[in-house]
Homo-oligomer: A and B are copies of this chain.
Amino acid sequence: MNHAILLISCRDQKGITAAVTSFIFHNQGNIVHADQHIDEQSNTFFMRIEWALDDFRLKREDIQPAFAVIANTFNMFWKLSFSDQKPRVAIFVSKHLHCLYDLLWRHKTGQLFCDIVLLVSNHPDARKVADDFSIRFSEFIIERHNKAEQEKKQIELLNAEKVDLVILARYHQILTKQFIGHFESQIINIHHSFLPAFAGSNPYLQAYERGVKVIGATSHFVTEELDEGPIIAQDTVVVSHRDSLEDLKRKGEDLEKVVLSRAVRWHLEKKILCYGNKTVVFD
């Protein structure tokens, strides 16, 4: 069954919910999920509403222009999607393949509604996995002198493949502003620490040396500031002096898998709204 999904944000004001839900009701839509949130600090209204299209009186292509009238009244930022649209996904990876494997397994067992069309790496290690899962593999060796050039080719490839979402599943290259600018709010990264602690490289080593009693993982949208984008999901696990650096990595990798796949699933199900440098997640 096909559903329409609206993600809305605007200045909070009277009548928004009434207007949106009346629009759906008067066109015979059946709301299956609705959630809203008001950020009191910034006086911003957020909404996610999803309705079944079976008896809906507007044709799919007529919903956008019809709703635009309401959206303009309230000066909304808004996005209309349909649950049968399968996002096209590219996964970027370096040498740690646990998140990659986990995403592919979840995809295979139906947990992630998308087409994984491309695997990109700066190393050859993931080629075998790509073959096992019948996914196109593209290796881009990145060196200091060729980074801009290689990224340009990557962008072309992603455009050619009509990619909607780039997942950095432990891709150990810092993307340039040029790249990030092409895929705004479309790149999700996993960082192996509870940000903002231990940003940058080697977070497990940093955590080990600091002697923390908890480690974490953070999934976030990628912005120009390294490890500073809006956080989507985080989780932590207890550690002790008994845990070696290797133990931290092992425990942390289990977290990374859960946290990254959670963020990706929420994004694919259109459950995330960004504002400022934060996210609202209607889970």
Contact = CB atoms under 8 A, between A and B. Distances in A.
Given A18-B24, A31-B17, A132-B132, A214 B235 contact: yes
A34 interface: yes
B34 A36 contact: yes
- Most B-side CB within 10 Å, residue of A25, A35, A214, A254: A214
A66 to B, nearest CB: 16
A207 to B, nearest CB: 9
Given A38-B32, A241-B37, A241-B279, A213 B196 contact: no
Nearest to A206: B196
A253 B28 CA distance: 38
Interface stretch (A114-122, A142-150, A226-234): A226-234
A240 B24 CA distance: 27
A43 to B, nearest CB: 11
A210 interface: yes
Interface string A24-63: 1110111111111111100000000000000000000000
B250 A258 contact: no
A212 to B, nearest CB: 6
Contact-residue bracket for chain A: 35 or more
Interface in A1-35: 14-15, 17-19, 21-22, 24-26, 28-35
A283 B233 contact: no
A214 to B, nearest CB: 4
A231 B213 contact: yes
Contacts of A22: 18, 21-22
Given A15-B25, A236-B236, A210 B197 contact: no
A40 B254 contact: no
A175 interface: no
Nearest to A265: B250
A228 to B, nearest CB: 9
A278 B212 CA distance: 8
A25 B16 CA distance: 9
A235 B238 CA distance: 8
B278 A211 contact: yes
A98 interface: yes
A242 B283 contact: yes
18 contacts: A15-B25, A17-B25, A18-B24, A21-B21, A21-B22, A32-B38, A35-B35, A39-B241, A98-B105, A194-B214, A195-B197, A197-B197, A211-B277, A211-B279, A213-B232, A214-B216, A214-B235, A216-B236
Interface of A: 14-15, 17-19, 21-22, 24-26, 28-40, 98, 101, 105, 109, 111, 132, 194-198, 210-214, 216, 230-236, 238, 240-242, 244, 250, 254, 258, 276-281, 283
